[in-house]
Structure 1
Amino acid sequence: MPGVLCRVVTVLVAAVALAGCGITDTDALPAGQPVQGGLTENSNQLLRVYFVTQEGVWPVSRPAPAGNRLQRAMDALLVGPTADERARGLITQLPSSIQPVRATTTRGRVELRLPWLVRDLRPVAVSQLVCTAAAADVGDDPVVEVIEPAMDQPWPVRCDETGSVVPAAQGASS
């Protein structure tokens, strides 16, 4: 009799496990219109500026005033996050500076002239600069040539898909 009882219990346990939790399958349900806004490939009215969260750099959208989009994006970065962005936990790791960051596009590359030495910046601050410059609508996966004060040789880098700075050869698309 114990063997029969054991088999019955085993069958019941298997039946309960196979029955699941009682949720039946449903068809797809309408969810409304897709979210709109933010940056799109054709958006000429917004800039992407990178600030810092606990997880790393995070892009925000800013209105794009008329003029040089690249320089406007760098200027917006140096102003720092708005009060609303700070309330959401966004900060900047860039030190203040009397001198601006100068950004130009040359031969499909971004030239980024810094008022600081890279070694004096936190890595996430360098990511803020490079990723903001790379996102300023200058082409796909641009090389950003970082030029430090009193340095003749630029440092060619890219912003990778994680928002980190990588050497230009490493970040190249294949």
Structure 2
Amino acid sequence: MKRPGSLGRLGSATVAAALLTGCGVRQSDVVEAGGPATVTVLPDAEQRVILFFVSSEGRLTPESRGFFLSQEGEYVVPGGKVLTMLLAGPSEQARAAGLHTELPRSRGFVGVKAGPDQVFVRVSIAVRDLEKTAVRQLVCTAAYVDGGDGNAEVIITGDDGRLPAMDCDA
């Protein structure tokens, strides 16, 4: 005598086995498809500042922050304010994503004079003994101030002297 439902279980097992066989799809080799993907960062370049923090893996990682129109209707944040934001540390959302800073907190003077090819930075912290990652945070953030494209040479002066000129790629 057959047990009720045993035929249904057998049918279900057969269907499951057929689905697990891969339906005839063959394995293929890795296909090279070009460079890394690019993404659009929001807000757009005229409405954001870029600050560089450090990921949990120790890599420099940008954080994009939006800002509001000035009274003149422009999206301009002075470079000194951008670096003050950097020295204040990552936002709550960036910290939740694992970003941190290697820079000491500073509430002192921050000055920036930006040109098309060079950016001069003055911060109220000692800079000569900063770790390489901390210096790169300053350099890369400064390279993007005042509409910069990240390619400017950056010269940093701190309470203990001046660092050699650097760029963000170094």
Same fold per superposition (TM over 0.5): yes
TM-score range, shorter chain: 0.5 to 0.7
Q: Which residue number in structure 1 is paired with residue 151 of structure 2?
A: 141
Instruction: Mark the runs of 5 or more structure 2 residues left unpaired by the alignment.
Output: 1-21, 28-37, 71-75
Write out per-residue CA displacement over residues 71-109 of structure 1, whole angstroms, 9 at most, x where no aligned residue: 232122122111111111011111122313321114631
What does 1:5-154 align with in structure 2 at a 5 Å threshold?
22-23=24-25, 36-38=40-42, 43-53=45-55, 54-65=57-68, 66=70, 67-106=76-115, 108-136=117-145, 137-139=147-149, 141-149=151-159, 151=161
**Partner secondary structure for residue 130 of structure 1:** helix
Matched residues in 2 for 1:94 and 1:21: separation? 55
TM-score normalised to structure 1 length = 0.63
Give, in angstroms, the shift of residue 158 of structure 1.
Answer: 0.3
Across the aligned residues of Structure 1 and Structure 2, the Cα RMSD in angstroms comes to 2.9
Q: For the Cα contact (< 8 Å) 2:89–2:105, is it kept in 1?
A: no
Q: Which residue number in structure 2 is paired with residue 8 of structure 1?
A: none
Q: Which runs of 4+ in 1 moved over 6 A?
A: none
Task: Please tell me the residue identity of whatever aligns with 1:46.
Answer: R
- In the alignment of these two chains, the number of paired residues is 131
Write out per-residue CA displacement over residues 99-155 of structure 1, whole angstroms, 9 at most, x where no aligned residue: 13321114631001122232321211111110001122225610111123363x662
Instruction: Mark the runs of 5 or more structure 1 residues left unpaired by the alignment.
Output: 1-19, 26-33, 161-165, 167-174
TM-score normalised to structure 2 length = 0.64
**Partner secondary structure for residue 99 of structure 1:** coil
